[in-house]
Structure 1
Amino acid sequence: MTERLTSGAGVASVPRGFTVRAPASSANLGPGFDSLGLSVPLYTTLRVTPQEVTEVVPCGPELENTPADESNYVYQAMLLSAQRAGRTLPPARIEIETEVPLARGLGSSAAALIAGIVAGNELLGRPLDHETVLDVAAREEGHPDNVAPALFGGIVIATLDKLGTHYVRLDPPAHLGVTVLIPDFELSTSKARAVLPREYSRADAVHALSHAALLAAALSVGRLDLLRHAMQDYIHQVWRAPLVPGLSDILDDAHRYGALGAALSGAGPTVLCFHDTREPTSRLHTYLHSVMKRNGLSGRVQDFAIDPHGTVVSY
């Protein structure tokens, strides 16, 4: 049995073994700082088997330096479900694998967090509905831009305030694809946030608000022709550009090589370009590789469809 997470709480007994798969995500998309993101089909997968003692088993080279005990971030995320539900988490064996590169701006921590919260909720018999799962995750992260698309899939606009986490999920527009340049160096979110100014001018605030609104509207109605203009940003990308060699060139010039728009993915260093799936991406790939070469970088360039499913639980 496979279940896509949509809405509403389930009622279930403590389950047999199950698998949780949560996707990577790309946040901000330019001006949608801390509020807009989409789901990318690279996955963090948990295999959970109830048993008498808890075991945490990170698997694969991406996770070789992560804790193999209850201090592991995924297990701590599972405990968040139990805390919100006012319950004790039953013991289980938790095997963890991921395809999401760490510290690259593709929501690796959000995928782990969502996978853990959903797994903990499932192990408890699903006392939390999906909106509560999102709120738990958003408050732990401090913003909903990665965790919302990791949970629900597609494109999600979300806010976090003292009353809760509020969101609108959009199905990806027809013919919208994603090309990502994933460099081989890491960039921590804390370092990328540290370079941001403490205050912004009114002009920059108006620019951000208007472009974020235009971007959300363009994605909602499929106006692919507006993406290049709507994705302009002065809030974070201009300040982070020195941390990501070649970023400024890509933001300025990628449209000349077939990109519909370009943005730093989350805190970086991954760079995301939208493309029209009816058109070849070979020129765009060649251009992105040339930017890396010109800046002495290595990495990979990949095309993806936007993941429409979000986090999936299967038995």
Structure 2
Amino acid sequence: MSGSVGIMLPREVAPADVARVARACEAAGFGEIWVVEDCFFTGGPTTAAIALASTERVVVGIGILPAVVRNAAFTAMELATLAGAFPGRVHAGLGHGVASWMAQVGAAPASWLGALRETTDAVRELLAGCEVRTEGRYVALDAVRLDHPPEVVPPLSLGVRGPRSVALAGEAADGLVLAEPTPVAYVASARRRLDEAATGSTRPGARLLTTYSWALAGAHVGDGDRDEVLRGRVLDALRHGGTEAHVADLPGDVRAHLDDVRSGRAALADDVLDLLVLRGDGVAPGIAAQHAAGADTVVLVSPRPADGVDTLLADVVALAEAAGLQ
């Protein structure tokens, strides 16, 4: 299988269960484990540290750290500590953060793009061992240099959606993380935009593309139950907004159908569901299609984390089998 296959360690996993779940993900054959930092669950760097210390080979991605809630120097310190202790096994992620959460904690910037750009530039330079002097609107550093820059500098990707933010990922970062859902057309479009932006950049980057995809498989889940779980996740996403970029590259009739679904005028059709999620026998072909469209890593996201750790662990094994990892 070309490309890597990862799995999400959901935000609902309690701190005491992180090590157990991380070990299960590695044992199942996944090459990467991605953690999230959503308000107000668990901290991204600390969760990543537990996952790294509990495993031996997997890359642990942090998707994502909101750029506006930490001083850039301290963000770099945390990432450098992880990368120094676990060289080659850290993939760092920055992003805008959810606007409502950032406002809730008093951290909403006047310019989201400006704050992310300044933070990205500073963190990358610090991780590379540079002394940073900058007096920006959001990042002000006076001759700051890390005492322990990592020997293996971790890639820094941006978890963003909009076209200007995707361009920033290509210009200033090492890659892009796409939140779920990730239909193949969206992946292909993001790959093209990322590469175009990176081509014009003076800063070399890996141009990594990581995608998150809801996925569910396994005999322990009845077909009808599985589909309803996935439908529910898609409906929640449509109704809460923020999915415009994800579906913009789909055919016009599909977008019109999703508008009808969002407004309650239609039920989600099976063929459209298959564009948005990976289910059952479609998991492996769906992963392959995203890799072919330009994804370097496809991260599978169980839609059932709230059902408890045992359910999540069953999903981990079933998804590994469906993905052809076992």
TM-score norm. by structure 1 comes to 0.24
More helix by percentage: 2
TM-score norm. by structure 2 comes to 0.23
More strand by percentage: 1
